[in-house]
Structure 1
Amino acid sequence: MTWETIHPRTEPVFWHKAVWFKDHIPRHAFGCWVVARNRMHTRDRLISWGLSVSPLCLLCNAQHENRQHLFFDCAFTAEIWRSYVAAANLSPPTLFEDLLRWIVKPSNDKNLNRIMRLLFQATIYLIWKERNTRLHDNTSRSPSSIKVVINQLMRCKLDPLSRAQPNTPSTISLLTTWFTIFQP
């Protein structure tokens, strides 16, 4: 009773299922949670706090860095994300808030839905990691090399999940779905 008085139950935020779902990768989910709350220390936020930094995106050096640009509008990022949604023949929304709603159920295929949520989080995590590597280490990777890392990460995550799926003639494994769509 006291706990409920101090901590009243509230409705989960609309992006809850996009971030906290079964089989998420904790570090990726945490990164996605921070991005969903718009709490990443992007350059627009640093400038709003009075820091004297260049407003330009570290990945493309062409536009001002903010959440929308860094994770979706940047040419560097778009090359990574769009290749996956194109392979899956999906048309995601272009605004981040809308994408958080869409990613919960981007298709009618359960396997593809799970894969896309994992892929979304892995992409966000590795884009942020690349951005910080460029800032702190003065090294950079190409979008294609980041896709290689994402592909390897996805295969490693989907393999045990596929083994845990029921083994029936009508069941298509997550890994089979991955290879069929993303690495034919």
Structure 2
Amino acid sequence: MLRVKYHPVDWHSIVWNKMAIPKHKFICWLIAREALQVKSKLFGLGIAPDDDCLLYGSAAETHLHLFQQCPYSRTILLEMARLCHVALPSTDILRLIWLQKWSKYRRGVLLCAFMACFYFIWLQRNRARVEHSLVKPAEVVRSARNVTKMRICTFQNQLDMLDRQWLKSIEVCK
């Protein structure tokens, strides 16, 4: 009686999949709930002097802008999509991956790769705020590829032949 009953969310299975790295899951959970302290939220509270994006500076830093529309972030996501042979939609890459008719392993690898991108985008945003410097998008993609490769190596004993061929074809694992 004391607990409030909430409606189930549709992103639960996407965020809490077993292949993603726990700290990446946590950041994606905060993104899904729009709970990160982005500048538009801080500006609204009177904490930040403006709401300009720290990565690009031309638009208000909202969750939507920071993780889907910002040219810096978009470059990272497009490069990861190119490496993984996935067509990047204009919105919600994680939901697109989850709804595809791919094997569970393939979906897990792609979710892991893009969640790593989101984590590193947030890391770069915080670095820009504190250190006033940014790493090139190619470096961010390289970091995301490296952590994805280390993570998916632990799940390779569950592969069928099609997944093995796909894994060899994508550059995330090189």
Partner of 1:151: 145
Question: In the TM superposition, what is the alpha-carbon distance from 1:63 to its structure 2 partner?
Answer: 1.8
The Cα shift of 1:38 comes to 0.4
Q: What is the Cα-based RMSD across aligned positions, in Å?
A: 2.3
Question: Counterpart of 1:172 in 2: which secondary structure?
Answer: helix
Shift in Å, 1:150: 0.8
Quick one: distance in 2 between partners of 1:73 and 1:17?
24
Name the CA distance, whole Å, in 2 between partners of 1:51 and 1:133: 18
For residue 172 of structure 1, the aligned residue among 159, 163, 167 is 163
CA shift in 2, pair 1:124/1:141, >3 Å: same
> Over alpha carbons, which structure has the higher Rg?
1
Q: Alpha-carbon deviation of 1:177?
A: 3.2
Task: Indicate the larger mover: 139-148 or 86-95.
Answer: 86-95
What TM-score, normalized by structure 2, do the two folds share? 0.86
| Counterpart for residue 170 of structure 2 | 181
Choose from 45, 48, 64 the match for 1:49.
45
Match of 1:137 in 2: 131
**Residue segments in structure 1 that go unaligned for 5+ positions in a row:** none
**Greater alpha carbon shift after TM alignment, 69-78 vs 110-119:** 110-119
- For 1:1-184, list aligned pairs within 5 A: 5-7=1-3, 11-96=7-92, 99-162=93-156, 164-165=157-158, 170=161, 172-173=163-164, 177-183=166-172
CA contact (8 A) 1:111 1:177 kept: no
Identity among equivalent positions (%) equals 24
Does the C-alpha gap of structure 1 residues 127 and 156 become closer, same or farther in structure 2, counting only changes over 3 Å?
A: same
> Which structure is higher in RCO with an 8 Å CA cutoff and minimum separation 6?
2
Q: Distance in 2 between matches of 1:109 and 1:92?
A: 19
Give me the whole-angstrom Cα distance separating, in 1, the residues matched to 2:45 and 2:23: 26
Instruction: Figure out how many residues of one structure are paired with residues of the other and give that number.
Output: 173
Quick one: which amino acid aligns to residue 122 of structure 1? A
Q: Deviations over 1:141-170 (max 9, x none)?
A: 1000111111111110011111x315x6x3
Structure 2 unaligned spans of 5+:
none
